[in-house]
Amino acid sequence: MKKYAVGVVGATGMVGQRFVSLLENHPWFQLTVVAASSRSAGKTYQEAVGTRWAMPTPMPEEAKSLVVLDAQADKEKIAGSVDFIFCAVDMKKDEIRALEESYAKLECPVISNNSAHRWTPDVPMVIPEVNPEHIQVIQDQKKRLGTQRGFIAVKSNCSIQSYAPALHPLRPFGLEKVLVCTYQAISGAGKTFETWPEMVDNLIPYIGGEEEKSEKEPLKVWGTVENGQIVPAQTPSITAQCLRVPVSDGHTAAVFVTFKNKPTEEEIKAAWKNFQGRAQELNLPSAPKQFLQYFEEPDRPQAKLDRDLEGGMAVTLGRLRPDTQYDYKFVGLSHNTLRGAAGGGVLLAELLCAEGYILPR
């Protein structure tokens, strides 16, 4: 099989680094281009990143000598030399929207880790196991953009991966109310303990914009495609509180839920165990074999023990039990820079390739 030529825009940041590391030895994708701001342009990737490489594995050899291009000034060169790009830039939202749309209009598909286009009605925001049918709006988006192959698809916020996938197979029981408290790792802010020593022995009860995303984004993921746009679901009602905690990787969620037709604990566990999504049906390279994994032990899941399960692409669950105010409560965990960010982006790209939305040039 001919590999897809891939670019990473925003390659020097933490999520960009994760994309670069995940593309090493990928069976379908070949890293061809790295791009960042004008400050890094013209340097080799190794020079541009320098001592800021934050991944647990060494920088891929294939990436070290790539010359960093300017994400803005070199757009035409980048778009013309790859089959699609992953975008993980650190810019203002209006600037990101303009940048991503300009790449799409240059006939380059954009798989975005950014939040800027998550609420654009004809841009699919996809968790491949949960709402793969949303990618059909791409045809309508391309009509709006006037493109043949260029489009934008986004992945959802990293924190909702720790609870929305677990709630998804329970929707047939009639989800009515959800309360969620997320305990989010420092890598979600692009930090390590070395670069953010203030987080050692600390907890910050505020993450800007995170609670609004946590309450609204699942409703778009569970929405319906109508007249070329995604119309968000009306239920369940979700309220969220989000805290930054001294954990390197892995977002944890404490979830409380009420149903219209209350299932038994056994029915909930069976729904989790038996759930398979489109990513599993297609046997995509990055898809976990068992997407939702439940632990019976009372002290699991734990970030340090369980975040890397199935290459960091599984969602781990535990502590399901009745609640005095809601029907049930449980705990969820997902790796925020793998399932929640770059890994989810790579899986989305695999889905789009497998379903024929991205074709090699």
Q: Indicate the average pLDDT of the chain.
A: 96
Compute the average pLDDT of residues 331-352: 96
> Tens digits of per-residue pLDDT, 79-137?
999 999 999 998 899 999 999 999 999 999 999 999 899 999 999 999 999 999 999 99
d(CA 250, CA 270): 25
User: Can you give the pLDDT at residue 2?
Assistant: 81
Helix (H, G, I), strand (E, B) or coil at 74: coil
What number is the average pLDDT over the span 175-197? 96
User: How far, in Å, CA of 200 to CA of 21, rounded?
Assistant: 27
Give pLDDT, residue 266. Answer: 98
What is the spatial distance between Cα 269 and Cα 284, in angstroms, rounded to a whole number? 25
Give the per-residue pLDDT at 259.
98
pTM: 0.96
Q: Using the predicted structure, report yes or no on whether residue 143 has a pLDDT greater than 90.
A: yes
Distance from chain centroid for Cα 134: 15
Q: What is the pLDDT of residue 209?
A: 93
What long-range pairs does 272-276 form, CB within 8 A, spacing at least 24? 272/166, 272/169, 272/317, 274/169, 275/129, 275/168, 275/169, 276/129
Q: Helix %, strand %, coil % for the chain, to 5?
A: 35, 25, 40
* Residues annotated catalytic, as ranges: 158, 251
According to the model, what pLDDT value does residue 17 have? 96
Given strand 4-9, what is the order of strands in its sheet? Answer: 69-70, 29-36, 4-9, 84-87, 110-112, 152-154
In three-state secondary structure terms, 355 is coil
What are 19-32's pLDDT values in tens digits? 999 999 999 999 99
Residue 1 has pLDDT above 80, yes or no: no
Residue 78's SS3 state is helix
Averaged over 55-74, what is the pLDDT?
96
Joined tokens for residue 136: 């059909």
